[in-house]
Structure 1
Amino acid sequence: MSWEIVLFNSTQSIKSIEDLDENKFILTSFCAVLEKSFEMAKSQGRDFSIDFYKDDVPVYNKIVSVNDENGLFELIDIARKNNWQLFDLGLDEVIDLENPKKDG
């Protein structure tokens, strides 16, 4: 199973994409955090696949492709630690980071 996920960092807690206020987005170096976190997870023996375009500058959001459940839960853990929010493009809804299984 695979997922297309949009990461974003906002001062607003978003429950629905309709509530999104782009003026509250925070520029974030998603790639630097993702690369470091995934490198560490893989060195600890966790196996998953994730793809994303590498930006050289901070951005307001980042689309990633996650190719297995291990990668999805790793991404959710990283999002929790960094106060990021996740939007599942396939389900067209924000992922509840405290109860991600309810979102598919």
Structure 2
Amino acid sequence: LCQRLTQQKFFFRERPFQPYHIYSILKNPLYYGEIKGGSLGKYLGTFEPILSKTIFLQVQEIRQSRRTAKKDTYPYLLRQKIRCPFCGRHLSSKYQWNTKKTKTLHYYHCT
């Protein structure tokens, strides 16, 4: 697909298409016309999209079905027990390495 687009003189930001360019297009709602407007929320742009919303949603379903869940083996004791004080959702557990990569910091955050 990338070779075909390049042969037909289509470029991604003035460069020949690479597989990750296709991936970024297929996961970005901007390419079917949806714009995130900060405080304005989401709205449809006035430009002609290169993907239809139907195709975009089909691609998202395929991407979601191919996704594998990360297995977290750390026993977070408060998992599914504490909620966000602002939105009421369960807090998610996460970890992060310190800058020297000698220790991990485990914490909870709102999703």
Give TM-score scaled by structure 1 length.
0.23
Give TM-score scaled by structure 2 length.
0.22
Higher helix share goes to which structure? 1
Q: State the structure with bigger RCO (CA 8 A, min sep 6), 1 or 2.
A: 1
The structure having more radius of gyration, on CA atoms, is 2
